[in-house]
Amino acid sequence: MKKFLIVGLGNIGQQYEHTRHNIGFQILDALAKEHSTSFETDKLGAIAEFRYKGRTFILLKPSTYMNLSGKAVLYWMNKEKISIENLLVVTDDLNIDFGSIRLKAKGSAGGHNGLKDIQEKLNTTTYSRFRFGVGANYSKGRQADFVLSEWSKEEVSQLIERIPISCKVITSFGTAGLANTMNAFNGK
């Protein structure tokens, strides 16, 4: 049975729960709920697992805080014997309009410290990432405050639609493959 490691980036702690930077955690929480599974605390993160269309999806929410996410990713890839092709990292992106979806097979960290740490620990920039647009509605030099602030009421109402679509992106990645998923969802 093919296994996939789906990593949602975020920060642990209630003060971060509803922030833009935690969209990776929010999407994985919704996906786990959709597939009637729940997260359990384990080494370097919270883990949930489900089977779908003959595939096993292992969901990881690192407990290392955003900037040290690579340690948890590397540990769970090795523990579960997941190949780099079957890794998908779900993260926020300031350079994409709010709610827009962009999958990529490789690329730079784009100034994202979580991605930067993953690239350093894996020693490659070639791994799939799912970037969820959080927009760039902040004053110059205030991006850290922006991503660590909570969603606006308007954004929360739109997330009700965007998060289920994001869950479909993840299951499509595991069943239809990256290229087909990119064609079906990028820019949506």
- Give Cα 151 to chain centroid, integer Å: 17
Domains and CATH numbers, the chain: 2-185 (3.40.50.1470)
User: 35 an active-site residue?
Assistant: no
3-state SS record for the chain: CEEEEEEECCCCCHHHCCEHHHHHHHHHHHHHHHCCCCCEEECCEEEEEEEECCEEEEEEEECCCHHHHHHHHHHHHHHHCCCHHHEEEEEEECCCCCCCEEEECCCCCCCCHHHHHHHHHHCCCCCEEEEEECCCCCCCCCHHHHHCCECCHHHHHHHHHHHHHHHHHHHHHHHCCHHHHHHHHCCC
> What pLDDT is recorded for position 136?
76
- Is-contact 109 119, C-beta < 8 A? yes
CA 108 – CA 160 distance, rounded (Å): 29
Q: What is the pLDDT along the chain (188 residues), one digit of tens a residue?
A: 799 999 999 999 999 999 998 999 999 999 999 999 999 999 999 999 999 999 999 999 999 988 899 999 999 999 999 999 999 999 999 889 999 999 999 988 877 889 999 999 999 999 999 999 988 777 677 778 888 888 989 999 999 999 999 999 999 999 999 999 999 999 77
- Is-contact 165 138, C-beta < 8 A? no
pTM of the model as a whole: 0.94
